[in-house]
Amino acid sequence: MLNRFLTIIILAFSLAGCNFAGKEVVTDTTTADTIMDELARLKRLTELEPNNAAFHNQLASVYLKRDNLNEALHFINKSLELEPSNEYNYFILSDIYLMMGDANRALTTLLKASDLSPNNADVYAQLGRLQIIMEDYPRAIKNLHEALALNSNHSKALYWRGFYHLERNDTARAISDFQLSVAVDQEFFEGYMELGQLLLAKGDKLAYDYFEHALQSAPPEPELLYSVAFLLQENERSFQAIEAYQRILKIDSTFYKAWYNLGYLYLTERDEADKALGYFNKALDINPEYVDAVYNRGLIYELREDYASARRDYLKALKMQLNHEKAIEGLNRLDKLQGK
């Protein structure tokens, strides 16, 4: 169960850091910013205002998203030193322990937050979420209901109640709760994603509307956008997928998987080999060991009847990945074409 939710915790960072005691930290973020820009900006802010706990809290949140648990722990402890009674610090600390594989310590940390703020719906939503991950369903649903009693429009409590219903194999009620979560928060990326995937599994074309809403509501984080784009690509929605990959590259031009997938779609869906070759080369400039890009570049050379270049890339792919099936097939084709 823990592994099932780790990606959700990291990519869709639920409550921690986003509502630091009601103080929103505003920075000049643009869609061209990368995570490294965000880190540099927050580090600079902590240098300028070393006693501002919110900056340390946000920096811990960014490091947690990057799976740098040591740095995340360092900065959240600094935030706790400055504001030990702020429950939102404990949200991040709890998630750090959870990512370290210590769910019990994560729970103890959240219970401290509930002692500090017993009437905060966010606290009960966090507790409910963690207890679902820990498979303690009776306590989970009790805390989620407590959160909703305090705030009936708490999108994340509704969202995690949806997961509670999924764990009980009640898909209809899960869908209902996910729909409620996006109804009360129309920018709720996670809710749209779950709805899209559940409806896709049911063969309901409405799934693609939810994926489109997910794209529109997604924060400028490449991995989040990639998760939507790849789903669209896998389900023959290439136009939407291409738009999503292009958006990713405006945020982070070094995101080589987006370059590669653009190349793949231009090659297989649009029959534009020249553009595809450029995209594969972009991916390889960033990650020269990306074997699939090497193979597909070889395929384009083969289609162009540049057999020497095709053979070179197929052999390179085999050197990078022993028994690469498609590269072997490509070499066999070349042997037949060249009479070898």
Establish if 230 belongs to a structural domain: no
DSSP, collapsed to helix, strand or coil, labels residue 178 as helix
Confidence of residue 43 (pLDDT cuts 50, 70, 90): confident
Establish if 302 belongs to a structural domain: yes
In angstroms, the CA 140 to CA 146 distance is 10
Establish if 164 belongs to a structural domain: no
Q: Which helix (H) or strand (E) holds 337?
A: helix 325-337
Residue 167 CA: distances (Å) to CA of 32, 43, 138:
39, 40, 12
Establish if 324 belongs to a structural domain: yes
Establish if 273 belongs to a structural domain: yes
Output the pTM of the full model: 0.76
Residues 6+ apart with CB under 8 A from 139: 127, 131
- The CATH number given to whatever domain includes residue 272 is 1.25.40.10
SS (H, E, C) 94-153: HHHHHHCCCHHHHHHHHHHHHHHCCCCHHHHHHHHHHHHHCCCHHHHHHHHHHHHHHCCC
The pLDDT assigned to 222 comes to 87
Q: What is the pLDDT of residues 46-81, one digit of tens each?
A: 888 999 999 999 999 888 888 899 999 999 999 999
- Please, are residues 254 and 270 in contact by the beta-carbon 8 Å criterion? no
Establish if 328 belongs to a structural domain: yes
Long-range contacts of 63-67 (CB under 8 A, 24+ apart): 63/39, 64/10, 64/13, 64/16, 64/92, 64/95, 64/96, 64/99, 65/10, 65/11, 65/13, 65/35, 65/221, 66/35, 67/10, 67/99
Establish if 268 belongs to a structural domain: yes
Q: What is the pLDDT of residues 127-186, one digit of tens each?
A: 999 999 999 999 999 999 999 999 999 999 999 999 999 999 999 999 999 999 999 999
Residue 207 CA: distances (Å) to CA of 56, 107, 173:
38, 34, 17
Establish if 331 belongs to a structural domain: yes
The pLDDT assigned to 46 comes to 86
Query: Is the pLDDT reported for residue 1 higher than 90?
Result: no
- Output the average pLDDT for the chain: 88
* CB neighbour class for 59 (10 Å; exposed up to 12, middle 13-18, buried from 19): buried
For 287, the domain range is: 254-340
Domain count, the chain: 1
Confidence of residue 118 (pLDDT cuts 50, 70, 90): very high
